[in-house]
């Protein structure tokens, strides 16, 4: 009997941004627009080679996610070239699913997301994306307060974020996610309440909310080192967290992961697959892949990526075998991020040993502290455990 192919995902990285936000440590660069044409050409070649090989081996993917950077910054003609290649290789490919692949895509069987920044989309661009198969948008909003947006280095306004959502609706998108941040410099609880309120009034199907983290190498990190950053106190940040955790479910958003809220049935399938140990193929500079117990990372350097692909060389700069120990740890702490938590049967099936045999002490300890709840089938974080997630995750490290 043929072995069933597990659902897998594709991640496409677009490393261009109009300017660098002060908190951002993602592999994205401002002022490199001149390379966009060559970059998309190289990306299409990688899609047509590495991507097609993967489809031949594993069938078409369950999810496609174009992230960055700012994918919506690509000019129309480059966006069209990229989306057409993705559609050809990953949706309409004449491989195991044959012509049914297109039907599946059109029926929404493939979750196909494009990350956008407000102020970088217009109606024509959004219509083009919809026409070429994109069925989900994720907007980096962060705040609706122009004062806060300027303070974190964002280039859009609150009004532009609202306008972008309306344009996306006109273009036919009925599955939209928006990101918010809290704990921003000089932000007060009332500011964050206002942002949550504004977000709920817009009614996107999905909302992600992140607390500000000071990452090494960012402008904010340097400002903090020099004592020039005024952040809310720990108590104020905790109050913002509590507000988020109460407010969004009251508005009908189910919290299905530590930072993610959605209308029923509108969870991000792509992100869920990361937390559920599914395989993914990353294409583009700095993209990561997780395939067959191996992790790969492409070079971060845009020029090295373009030259490497052009010369037919590998652009992977890192390849590592995921050890069984690391796999067990990741399996647990990624699954614990989700509302369902760790499925005991899935752990047993993956590692051939019941989870209690390995983590008995950690489980008792966390249950005793009311951070973890155990049912017959699952282990999942309590609301307190979600709040202090790191304590729970650490317990699952050997
Ligand atoms: S738009 Fe996104 S990827 Fe680009 S710099 Fe800002 S946070 Fe980073």
Gyration radius from the chain CA atoms: 21
Pocket test for ligand 1, best of 17, 115, 121 (most atoms within 8 A of CB): 17
Pocket test for ligand 1, best of 16, 30, 70 (most atoms within 8 A of CB): 70
- If DSSP codes are grouped into helix, strand and coil, which group holds residue 166? helix
Cα separation values, 60 from 86, 93, 124, 130, Å: 11, 7, 28, 19
Report domain extents, the chain: 8-275, 324-398
Tokens, residue 54 = 């993967």
**Residue identifier of the C-alpha nearest atom 2 of ligand 1:** 69
For residue 258, how far is the Cα from the chain centroid?
Answer: 13
Assigned fold of 324-398: Arc Repressor Mutant, subunit A (1.10.10)
Least Cα distance to 70 among 125, 146, 131 occurs for: 125
Distance of alpha carbon 333 from alpha carbon 245, whole angstroms: 20
pLDDT (0 to 100) of residue 282: 98
pLDDT (0 to 100) of residue 1: 46
Distance of alpha carbon 383 from alpha carbon 100, whole angstroms: 42
Q: Distance from the CA of 151 to the center of ligand 1, in angstroms?
A: 14
Pocket test for ligand 1, best of 23, 26, 153 (most atoms within 8 A of CB): 26
Residues 6+ apart with CB under 8 A from 148: 142, 184, 185, 186, 187, 191
Q: Distance from the CA of 293 to the center of ligand 1, in angstroms?
A: 30
| Continuous segment of H or E residues that includes residue 126 | helix 123-131
* Pair 163, 198: CB distance under 8 Å: no
Residues 6+ apart with CB under 8 A from 92: 101, 102, 105
pLDDT (0 to 100) of residue 321: 97
**Residue identifier of the C-alpha nearest atom 8 of ligand 1:** 24
State whether the beta carbon of 24 lies less than 6 angstroms from ligand 1. yes
Q: Distance from the CA of 126 to the center of ligand 1, in angstroms?
A: 20
Cα separation values, 40 from 12, 52, 75, 92, Å: 11, 17, 11, 20
Least Cα distance to 18 among 65, 74, 78, 80 occurs for: 74
**Residue identifier of the C-alpha nearest atom 5 of ligand 1:** 20
State whether the beta carbon of 138 lies less than 6 angstroms from ligand 1. no
**Residue identifier of the C-alpha nearest atom 7 of ligand 1:** 24
State whether the beta carbon of 70 lies less than 6 angstroms from ligand 1. yes
Each residue's pLDDT expressed in tens, for the chain with a length of 398 residues: 445 568 999 999 999 999 999 999 999 999 999 999 999 999 999 999 999 999 999 999 999 999 999 999 999 999 999 999 999 999 987 544 555 555 555 555 899 999 999 989 999 999 999 999 999 999 999 999 999 999 999 999 999 999 999 999 999 999 999 999 999 999 999 999 999 999 999 999 999 999 999 999 999 999 999 999 999 999 999 999 999 999 999 999 999 999 999 999 999 999 999 999 999 999 999 999 999 999 999 999 999 999 999 999 999 998 999 999 999 999 999 999 999 999 999 999 999 999 999 999 999 999 999 999 999 999 999 999 999 988 889 888 87
Reported pTM: 0.95
Distance of alpha carbon 240 from alpha carbon 256, whole angstroms: 19
DSSP state of 304: H
State whether the beta carbon of 28 lies less than 6 angstroms from ligand 1. yes
Count other Cβ atoms within 10 Å, centred on residue 136.
23
Distance of alpha carbon 178 from alpha carbon 204, whole angstroms: 7
For residue 319, how far is the Cα from the chain centroid?
Answer: 22
CATH number of 8-275: 3.80.30.20
State whether the beta carbon of 26 lies less than 6 angstroms from ligand 1. yes
**Residue identifier of the C-alpha nearest atom 6 of ligand 1:** 21
């Amino acid at each position: 009997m043929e072995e069933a192919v597990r659902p897998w995902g594709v991640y496409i990285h677009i490393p261009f941004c109009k300017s660098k936000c002060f908190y951002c440590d993602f592999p994205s660069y401002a002022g490199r627009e001149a390379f966009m044409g060559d970059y998309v050409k190289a990306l299409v070649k990688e899609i047509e080679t590495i991507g097609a090989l993967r489809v031949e081996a594993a069938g078409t993917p369950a999810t496609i996610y174009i992230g960055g950077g700012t994918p919506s910054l690509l000019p129309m003609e480059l966006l069209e070239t990229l989306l057409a290649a993705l559609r050809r290789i990953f949706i309409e490919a004449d491989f195991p699913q044959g012509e049914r692949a297109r039907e599946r895509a059109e029926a929404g069987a493939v979750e196909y997301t494009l990350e956008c920044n407000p102020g970088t989309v217009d109606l024509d661009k959004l219509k083009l994306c919809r026409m070429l198969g994109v069925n989900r948008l994720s907007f980096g909003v962060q705040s609706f307060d122009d004062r806060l947006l300027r303070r974190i280095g964002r280039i859009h306004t609150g009004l532009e974020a609202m306008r972008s959502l309306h344009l996306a609706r006109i273009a036919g998108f009925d599955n939209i996610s928006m990101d918010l941040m809290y704990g921003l410099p000089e932000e007060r609880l009332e500011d964050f309440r206002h942002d949550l309120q504004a977000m709920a009034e817009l009614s996107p199907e999905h909302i992600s909310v992140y607390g500000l983290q000071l990452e090494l190498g960012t402008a904010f990190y340097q400002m903090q080192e020099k004592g020039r950053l005024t952040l809310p106190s720990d108590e104020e940040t905790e109050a913002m967290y509590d507000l988020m955790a109460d407010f969004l479910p009251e508005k009908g958003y189910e919290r299905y992961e530590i930072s993610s809220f959605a209308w029923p049935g509108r969870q991000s399938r792509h992100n869920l697959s990361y937390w559920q140990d599914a395989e993914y193929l990353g294409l583009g500079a700095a993209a990561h892949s997780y395939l067959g117990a191996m992790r790969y990372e492409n070079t971060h350097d845009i020029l090295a990526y373009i030259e490497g692909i052009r010369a037919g060389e590998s652009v992977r700069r890192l390849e590592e075998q995921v050890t069984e120990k690391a796999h067990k740890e990741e399996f647990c702490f990624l699954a614990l991020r989700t509302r369902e938590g760790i499925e005991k049967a899935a752990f047993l099936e993956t590692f051939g040993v019941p989870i209690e045999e390995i983590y008995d002490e950690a489980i008792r300890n966390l249950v005793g502290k009311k951070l973890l709840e155990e049912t017959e089938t699952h282990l999942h974080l309590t609301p307190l455990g979600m709040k202090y997630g790191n304590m729970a995750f650490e317990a699952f490290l050997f």
